[in-house]
Structure 1
């Protein structure tokens, strides 16, 4: 029973009823001002008034603002679960105008039907209650009641039927609004691309923070622990210097990433997303072929900053051997920056999971590919101190970077070492 009566008591039902009544009122106004309708019967009136209604509605649909007005009104009165299902934007194409015209005609037709029953059914219910020979909708007159009248029992049935007619008409009107006033397939595709683009932007920014801040925290914890254990004044001073420099770099990375996050939050216009922005967004978030370029290239470190990164690892107590065979100027900026982040993540993992163990880093250009290899000895590692690297977010981020750059990445134990290997083509998209 609650499921039967709940829609009849819902505020949405009566708001939609009002929306339907507006369409009926429009048809009634046109009918009253159409010249000469008093001389015709109902059929003649419909034959003359309907074309006038349709013509006026089609002309109104040509105005771009009409689509916005109808969308706003539908959002307010049809009460959709998600407002995004009904657009509130002006018509931008002839397809939008055609859909708006179909909506207006359908709205007025359905509203006129419901409006007619909204007048006739209550009048018939009143007749059932007060007259001995009541008249039903359609001109059907019931015989006069003899004895105890049972006709009044039909009045609530008619009103109940009218209520459910309004419920179903309102739902049909909402479905029409979603179909005709909602985003077109092209607009839905553009919105989906924009959502994917923003998701990529957020993922890139999150990866930047993970790599930069994660490395800084790892180095800081190791340096502070080592300084406490050693107790040598010179070592403590050096450790504090490394912590200061690492923290300063992390703060710079954090400020740059937050600035990017604020900037990308301002680009909320779907029309802007369909322009010259590549997948990954504007303001340097996405470059050619969708490759990650979060941040200003002049501020982000690249392969040339690897020696300073490796010196930080050495100061943390891990011997580092490095072979960097990349001629200056040979790498595109995105490869240099992403290569630095990949090596940084590999070194950070080595410091975290195998502190004090030797680390070897190799960066080279071979056969048109950039090859990155970071390995550390497993002996002395303490798996219980953290989650296994195989399931870490850092390694997943490295694989995502490699895929976006058109390459591949692998990580795992090999001959007593944990080896991270990444290979990406020198030409993006190759």
Structure 2
């Protein structure tokens, strides 16, 4: 037998020992028939096990023991949480009773099945019964293996996570996945913008060669790199604060903020003018209209709006460098409306196909959906003011986002 089978045999025999102890200490067994003794002992076992199952910690103790001795393929298939509901207590009671019954059956098979074989082998005709040894060993081995598997199946069924625990675990996994996606978006938006601005400024400084322009470009590159480093540090702080197990990270204070770490303020809509200055310095004119009264936007909406606009102007720098960018932000009818438009430029070899939606646009849509809004992006042909027909040019790329000021509105 494998090591797991021996461990399961030990787990089975523990249940048998419990039944044997109850049978030995049960009063009134003297001069009583075996059937009556067994009936009373079984009844007492059931009552005691049902009462013990009412203790919430009993489910945890049995789960830990089952994980150690029954050797499941996945430990999470057997729960180790205390009983939280009456359904958990009923399942624990059924497990305890089933464990003792199955363990007693294996124990009696061990005693009353192997003992006669041992007597025959030690008797005067031992050689005659010697062939019984491999047959008995094989039969007992199969009994232990199948009883152990049955015991494991019972543990998974009766000690496994309850529907409420499975739902809580699924919600926790979903929350962790959303958090990872949010951090990935933060890194994509901030680092992607910084790299785009840095590359454009470095290329322009090399082409122009004007010392004043080079000094200004280096200043913008330095400031953009510093902001990207702050964003990266803030993201790493969040990762240290929320480890996979959910426990506090080393060095965290009682209030949840890590010690010896300088907190950096997350950018909001108030920081958009500085963002537009970096875009203008990269050679793309920005016309911005921000009609948002002070204090109207919640903090999360201000932060996410900044990231959305940042991604919009970064895409404009990537796909239409040097072209004017029009940004309009306003609060109307209980909604925050964000519009970012730039002229499309047909690059050689692309045939005017325009840009394709990538991770940035997908991230914008995810942000909008999480905030209860909607986002759309695509080509829009400009229309002439008098004729109503498309104007000359390659058209515009327009990003439209609408976010409710209050979630659920």
Q: TM-score, normalised by structure 2?
A: 0.85
- Structure 1 position 180 matched with structure 2 position 172: no
| 1:286-308 deviation line (CA, Å, top 9, x unaligned) | xxxxxxxxxx9x92222222111
Q: Deviations over 1:299-357 (max 9, x none)?
A: 22222221111111111111222222222223222222211111100111111222222
Structure 1 residue 59: Cα displacement: 3.1
2:405 counterpart residue number: 426
Match of 2:10 among 18, 30, 35: 18
Alignment of 1:12-411 (within 5 A): 12-126=4-118, 153=131, 155-265=133-243, 268=246, 299-381=265-347, 389-411=355-377
- Number of residue pairs the alignment of both structures matches: 382
Please give the secondary structure, in 2, of the residue aligned with 1:265: coil
Counterparts in 2 of 1:37 and 1:383: CA distance versus 1, 3 Å:
farther
Contact map agreement 2:346 2:354 (CA 8 A) in 1: no
- Render the CA deviation track for 1:168-198: whole Å, top value 9, x for unaligned: 2212211221222222211111111111111
- Indicate the SS of the match to 2:170: helix
Q: Which structure 1 residue ranges, 5 or more long, are not aligned?
A: 1-8, 135-147, 270-281, 285-295
The 1:45–1:133 alpha-carbon spacing in structure 2 relative to 1, beyond 3 Å, is: farther
**Kept in 1: contact 2:12–2:103 (CA 8 A):** yes
- 1:15 to partner: Cα distance: 1.0
Deviation for aligned residue 1:128? 6.9
Paired residue secondary structure (1:90)? coil
How much has 1:82 moved relative to structure 2? Answer: 1.6
1:58 to partner: Cα distance:
2.5
* Contact 1:411 1:420 (8 Å CA) reproduced: yes
Contact 1:369 1:426 in 2 (8 A): yes
Give the drift of 1:212: 1.1
SS of alignment partner, residue 177 of structure 2: helix
State how far apart, in whole Å, the 2-side matches of 1:210 and 1:321 are. 25
Residue aligned with 1:196, SS: helix
State whether residues 87 and 182 of structure 1, in contact with CA within 8 Å, keep that contact through their aligned partners in structure 2.
yes
In 2, distance between residues paired with 1:401 and 1:31?
66
| 2:50/2:93 contact within 8 Å kept | yes
Aligned-residue CA RMSD (Å) = 2.8
